[in-house]
Structure 1
Amino acid sequence: MNGLLYLEDGSIYEGKGFGKNGTSVGELVFNTSITGYQEILTDPSYAGQVITMTYPLIGNYGVNSFEDESTKVHAKGFVVKNISDNPSNYLSEHTVDQMLKKMNVVGVYDLDTRSITKKVRNKGAMKCVISTEELSKKQLEEYLGKTELQGNFMEEVSTKKAIHIEGQGAKVAVIDFGVKSNIIENLKHRECDITILPYDTAYEEIVKLNPQGILLSNGPGDPKTVKEGIKLIKSIIDKYPIFGICLGHQMLALAVGGDTYKMKYGHRGGNHGVYDIEKDRAYITSQNHGYAVDAESVKEKMIITHVNLNDNTVEGMRHKELPVFSVQFHPEGAPGPQDSAYLFDKFIKSMKA
């Protein structure tokens, strides 16, 4: 079947369709990772977005049943140069095409993904229509016009009820803004007793749980829209050790009176250089975010600990007085390097202290 991508600047890219036969509207972003397309597709932080992969060959090692980062694909669409329908890997169970069909996600391939990526870099992330249906330009414009991009995806991706995972170590409450499964796996690896909580959990429920520490997870969308989460962080910040990751990092900044802003096209990929100021060492990190913390806005209460080596944006911070810290990147990788997994150990130590 045919496929196309229509951008809000009027550009049309024509190719071939795979996955679900249909039409979706989302925010067009790009990811520079070479491998890890399964983890990227199932990352809840991509809710509401159409993902373009810059690496030209996707699907060549297939898809399996144990590397998903959540229970479904939350992205609105998938754009690639070439898609493999004959994967070769001993762990492969399905093709990407079969995965997208099962998850009701539209895919388009045989497009000039280099041109699409350059356009996003030059003009910024933009709304788009991805479709495998025969639609006129007028119909495409109508789809764009009548579809508002949701700002708060917490209700869609967060757990609806508390989930307990028994462990013999530190008792951790994970506030689920769209947590990736490998963040939980890193806590399990460190024998933590874990309770995953909805994003709008009340302060009183945290007190009843009596955790030794709080992890603020990653998630999709604009951090300023998650008012329940910001209110919760304000109420617990001086009572528990806290570790924030990605969206959790941004919301922590807002909770201490700081500010965040939307980036032109964000950071998405597994090769972003980050400088750890306190360790005087650089790390290669996995990232997926479209918002960043304003450095000046948090300096009254927070110390900047990490900066991005490409654009100098804030990549990490810690509270001046409390056992509270956060990073913008993903220390669990999945996909990407795990050079910064030491941050989970730092969190464990802060709880023991």
Structure 2
Amino acid sequence: MSRLLVIDNYDSFTWNLVQMFMGRGLSIEVHRNDRLSVSEAFDMSPDLILVSPGPGDPGDAGISMEIIRRFADKVPLLGVCLGMQCLNEVFGGETVRAGLPMHGKTSDIYHDNRGLFAGLPLPFPAARYHSLAVRPGAGTLEALTVSARTKDQVIMGLSHREYPLHGVQFHPESFLTPQGFIIIDNFLRMGA
């Protein structure tokens, strides 16, 4: 049985995401971002890691960025919303105030039809709940590729060029993202 480690960034959406993984043959452990050490995470021997949404910015995400750094070349990892912002910052990017706050709004997502986005319509609708956005740094795009954007070019997906690390700014668990389960299925296949 595959083991999923969930880093909970104190967000109510975390449990909606966890529910999307239930019933899929996984052992799921959820730990708050300030209640777990890196060595404890390694002792769990996770096969997959989910870094959840949360309030604030990556500086408020406890152990999330250290987990991404330490597991980058070892375990498939998915960062959602704040989790994607953490992924971006680990590889040299910035988190900045978005042009417009997008809380409970739907946008069309244009994507590369690979990895997390394989088999999804182009575009597909997704729920956004954020007032911050990622801005890749000078060296970020050497490590990460932009895998999804909105029509107005706000980055909605990042993937590492070498490691199985992925992030989405939108919320795949929301009822406003009807194809969100495809993203979860694609992520699970990466850890199979």
Normalising by structure 1, we get a TM-score of 0.49
Deviates more, 1:229-238 or 1:324-333: 229-238
Summarize deviations over 1:59-97 as a string: whole Å, max 9, x none. xxxxxxxxxxxxxxxxxxxxxxxxxxxxxxxxxxxxxxx
Partners in 2 of 1:178 and 1:329 — Cα distance?
A: 17
The residue number in structure 1 matching 2:150 is 308
Partner of 2:164: 323
| Mapped partners of 2:125, 2:136: distance in 1 | 21
Partner AA of 1:319 in structure 2: H
- Kept in 1: contact 2:88–2:136 (CA 8 A): no
Aligned amino acid, residue 5 of structure 2:
A
Which residue in the other structure is 1:272 paired with? 107
Q: 2:147·2:157 contact (CA, 8 Å) conserved in 1?
A: yes
Cross-structure match for 2:187: 347
Partner of 2:78: 243
Residue number among 28, 31, 35 corresponding to 1:194 in the alignment: 28
Number of aligned residue pairs: 182
Query: Counterpart of 2:30 in structure 1: which amino acid?
Result: I
Percent identity, please: 27
Shift of 1:313: 0.9
Distance 1:348 1:218 in 2: 19
**Whole-Å separation in 1 of the counterparts to 2:149 and 2:99:** 18
Structure 1 runs not aligned, ≥5 long: 1-168
- Any conservation in 2 of the 1:182–1:332 contact (CA below 8 Å)? yes
Distance in 1 (CA, whole Å) between partners of 2:30 and 2:92 is: 26
Structure 2 partner of 1:184: 18
SS of 1:224's equivalent?
helix
Alpha-carbon distance in 2 for matches of 1:189, 1:275: 29
Q: In structure 2, what is the equivalent of residue 290 of structure 1?
A: 131
Give the deviation of 1:210 after TM superposition: 0.7
Structure 2 counterpart of 1:230: 65
- The answer as to whether partners of 1:170 and 1:348 remain within 8 angstroms in 2 is no
Higher relative contact order (CA 8 A, sep 6+): 2
Deviation at residue 339 of structure 1 after TM alignment: 1.7
TM-score normalised over the length of structure 2: 0.87
Larger Rg: 1
Long gaps (5+) in structure 2 = none
Shift >2 Å, 4+ stretches: 224-229, 277-280, 295-298
The separation in 2 between residues aligned to 1:178 and 1:190, in whole angstroms, is 24
Alignment match, 1:118: none
**Which secondary structure does the structure 2 equivalent of 1:281 belong to?**
coil
2:56 alignment partner, one of 221, 224, 228: 221
Per-residue displacement from partner, 1:244-282 (whole Å, max 9, x unpaired)?
A: 111000001111222111124321224211111235710
Corresponding letter in the other structure for 1:174:
V
